[in-house]
Amino acid sequence: MNGSLTFKLLKPHNHYTILLKKSYTTAAAAAHFTQHALNHPLTSLQCGTMLQSLTNSKSVTKGQKLHAHMIVCGVLRNNTYVSTKLAAFYANCGRMAEARVIFDGIVLKSSFLWNFMIRGYACNGFSMKSLVLYREMLSFGQKADNFTYPFVLKVCGDLNLVEIGRRVHCEIVVCGLESDIYVGNCLLAMYSNFGDMEKARMVFDRMLKRDLTSWNTMIMGYVKNGDPREALVVFDLMRKSGLIADCTTLLGVLSACADSAAVKQGKAIHGYVLRNSIAHCNNFLTNSLIGMYCNCNSMVYARRLFEEVSRKDTVSWNSMISGYTKNGDAFESLRLFCRMVPEGAEPDQVTLIAVLRACDQITALHFGMSVHSYIVKKGFDENTIAGTALIDMYSKCGSLDCSRRVFDEMPKRNLVSWSAMVAGYGLHGRGSEAISIFHEMRTNSITPDEGVFTSVLSACSHAGLLDQGKEIFYSMTNKFDMRPGLAHYSCLVDLLGRAGHLDEAYELIKTMEVKPTVDTWAALLSACRLHQNVELAEISAQEVFNMDPKRVVSYICLSNIYAIEKRWDDVERVRGMVRRRGLKKPPGCSFIEVDKLHSFLM
DNA sequence: TCTCCAGTCC
């Protein structure tokens, strides 16, 4: 808060008029009181009232001045009423250290005080402390109430403490607070944070009263847990129950539309927003609409809306830029980025990361390098996500040395950064370096995830490192208690196939824990061609054609295998299949190889 | 005294 403003407001002639004016703000009133307090000692009741208004306006500096005044004139000593208000003030401003000192000095702690402290810790990033204080509250014999539980539940949700959350839920049921609408809504939010929408739905269905927040929490819960269709169903039920959607509802529903590519429903929401002039009050909503159109591949609509918006903020630009990249038009992303600064918008980290993605899509190395300079100039180069995007951009644009330099100079690396570096080496066919980065990552006590394993296995397969690849693959189950997914099996099939271990690859496909896809069999088929194994080629081709009868490349692959064996009848049979199914050969891929072989061998 | 709120990285 600006102290000088306080005194400007307090010129003698308007001293009282400020108070008398109906429109004076809480802050102005507090300013008046603060000045007054510093001149004359205040009673504890006056201090309490002032603290109340300062709590509402979160004026830290003024509150500190008042605190100093109270110390000087002794109001604070042994005064539970004022001390409680003061602790509540600090907690509400997020000054938990100060709040705690006051809190500890109060002997008779009211539930109001406990609640304010628990809330302060919960809402300012000290979730664990909040929970500890809650247990302390109970052990002090103070009962939790309808103001305590919302925050205890929030903390359980934030920290994903499933067991504790359930126990707290039981306590709530026992003391009859499940019917409290705030407590109920927080239960919904907690279970949705746990990813347990079934339980959330159970609580929701059991609620005697539901308000807009209850519905909004359920809609957002389904979206966050990857069930956008159900979110739209719930939204429909909500409308039928006669409730009017607010901004939060619309944000949730738009996310649901974006995630399920439901552009029709998205347009209906857009219409609703326009009819009710809701977008004016909320940039979030406009940006969400833009994001929805981008996710639904409706770039024309997204662009039209974007150009119509007079107050484009950085997020509007970011949504469009990443939208074009997602839809494969990286050039348009870069063109938009170039318009940003001249049109008065400030690129942020998100912008620059999105632009780097556009660069690696079209291997625009020089543009990427300029973006790199810009990142350094803006001081974003210490950011881990920006650094990771740079690693990715450089390796995809062919400059692995630059990737490595960025990687080495990063002040902080996370799993994704290591993963990007492993993938970079893999992409450039430098398998052994990929493996050594992978091992280095483990010595830095970073636990690999499925993505890193995919990268390192794919690096092994590109470089033909069979033994190392197998070792890493089996370490997934042996050392890391992870179940290999389709991508990992595919890498190993590819690796075994390329190395000529066709039978082993075949055995692997037959015994793998996930269902093989057409790509898995196609990988084996192409390995069969590499090592000329007709018998296995026929088996894998059959699997491919069963799953995807239109996969022309696989027909061509099989016919080429026959051609090498001079089995011309079979070559003709396969060509006939292609003709009968009316398939077209993709450009650059044809039977021409067979024709050459045919004439050569005849 | 309280709950729900968009966009970036493998």
Helix (H, G, I), strand (E, B) or coil at A58: coil
Interatomic distance A214 CA / B9 C1' (Å): 33
Nearest alpha-carbon partner for A390 in A427, A428, A421:
A421
- Biggest CA-to-CA distance, chain A: 113
Assess whether A568 (CB) lies less than 7 A from strand B.
no
Q: What is the pLDDT of residue A39?
A: 65
Question: Is A536 (CB) below 7 Å from strand B?
Answer: no
d(CA A82, CA A76): 6
Length of chain A in residues, anyone? 602
- Give tens-digit pLDDT for A108-163: 999 999 999 999 999 998 999 999 999 999 999 999 999 999 999 999 999 999 99
CA-based angle A158:A163:A166, to the nearest 5? 85
Burial call A130-158: b when 16+ CB within 10 Å, e when fewer: bbebbeebeeeebebeebbbbbbbbbbbb
Q: Considering chain A, what is the average pLDDT of its residues?
A: 87
Considering only CA atoms, which residue is closest to the C1' of nucleotide B6?
A: A288
Residue-level pLDDT at A46 = 87
Give the CA-to-C1' distance from A377 to B8 in angstroms: 19
CA–CA distance, A197 with A221 (Å, rounded to integer): 7
What is the torsion angle, in degrees rounded to the nearest 10, for the CA atoms of residue A135, residue A141, residue A144 and residue A147? -100
Dihedral of CA atoms A136, A141, A147, A152 in degrees, nearest 10, equals 30
Q: What is the pLDDT of residue A367?
A: 94
Question: Closest nucleotide (CA of A252 to C1')?
Answer: B5
How far is it, in rounded angstroms, from Cα A535 to Cα A503?
11
Residues 6 or more apart whose Cβ sits within 8 Å of residue A278 = A247, A250, A272, A285
Q: Is the pLDDT of residue A276 over 60?
A: yes
Distance CA A202, CA A197 (A): 8
pLDDT in tens, A37-80: 556 788 888 888 888 888 888 888 889 999 998 988 888 888 89
Rounded distance in angstroms from the CA atom of residue A75 to the C1' atom of nucleotide B5: 41
B7 C1' – A404 CA distance, angstroms? 28
> What is the structure's pLDDT at A289?
92
Task: Give the pLDDT score at A34.
Answer: 53
Measured CA A421 to C1' B10 distance, in angstroms = 9
pLDDT confidence of residue A595? 56
- pLDDT of A209 > 80? The answer is yes
Whether A419 CB is under 7 Å from strand B: yes
pLDDT digits (tens, 9 = 90+) for A280-337: 667 888 899 999 999 999 999 999 999 988 878 899 999 999 999 999 999 999 999 9
SS (H, E, C) A266-290: HHHHHHHHHHCCCHHHCHHHHHHHH
User: CA–CA separation, A32 vs A35, rounded Å?
Assistant: 5
Residues 280-309 of chain A in contact with strand B via CB under 7 angstroms: 283-284, 287-288, 291
Q: Is the CB of A258 under 7 A from strand B?
A: yes
A189: helix, strand or coil:
helix
Strand B contact at CB of residue A487, distance < 7 A: no
CA–CA distance, A191 with A194 (Å, rounded to integer)? 5
Please tell me the distance from the alpha carbon of residue A206 to that of residue A570, in angstroms, as a whole number. Answer: 66
A420 touches strand B (CB under 7 A): yes
Nearest nt (C1') from A455 Cα: B10
Percent of chain A with pLDDT over 90: 66
Question: Which tokens is A125 given?
Answer: 């990033």
Q: Which nucleotide is nearest to A217 (CA to C1')?
A: B4
**What percentage of chain A exceeds 70 in pLDDT?**
90
Cβ-contact A354, A314 below 8 angstroms: no
Cα torsion A163, A169, A171, A176 to 10°: value is: -170
Q: How far is the CA of A274 from the CAs of A253, A381, A430, A434, A573, in angstroms?
A: 16, 40, 54, 52, 61
For residue A601, pLDDT over 70 is answered with no
Q: What is the pLDDT of residues A9-39, one digit of tens each?
A: 333 333 333 332 333 334 444 555 555 555 6
Contacts 24+ apart (CB under 8 A), A280-284: A281/A247, A282/A247, A283/A311, A283/A313, A283/A315, A283/A316, A284/A247, A284/A251
Local confidence band at A462 (pLDDT 50, 70, 90 cut-offs): confident
Give the nearest nucleotide to A388, CA to C1'. B9
Distance, Å, A280 CA → B3 C1': 26
How far, in Å, is the CA of A284 from the C1' of nucleotide B5? 9
Q: Which nucleotides of B are covered by protein (CB under 7 A)?
A: 1-10
Give yes or no for CB of A314 within 7 Å of strand B: yes
Residue A494 CA, chain-centre distance (Å), reads 32
Q: Kindly indicate the confidence band of residue A591, based on its pLDDT and cuts at 50, 70 and 90.
A: low
Closest CA to A150 of A108, A111, A109, A178: A178
> DSSP class of residue A448?
P
A354 touches strand B (CB under 7 A): yes
Residue-wise DSSP of A474-540:
HHHHHTT-----HHHHHHHHHHHHHTT-HHHHHHHHHH-SS---HHHHHHHHHHHHHTT-HHHHHHH
pLDDT in tens, A533-572: 999 999 999 999 999 999 988 998 999 899 888 898 999 8
- CB of A348 lies under 7 Å from some atom of strand B: yes
Per-residue DSSP letters for A315-377?
HHHHHHHHHHHHTT-HHHHHHHHHHHTTTT----HHHHHHHHHHHHHTT-HHHHHHHHHHHHH
CB-strand contact A403/B, under 7 Å: no
Q: Which of A342, A404, A417, A403 is nearest to A369 (CA)?
A: A403
Q: What is the pLDDT of residue A337?
A: 94
Report phi then psi at A63, rounded to 5. -65, -40
Question: Exposure of A523 by Cβ count < 10 A (0-12 exposed, 13-18 middle, 19+ buried)?
Answer: buried
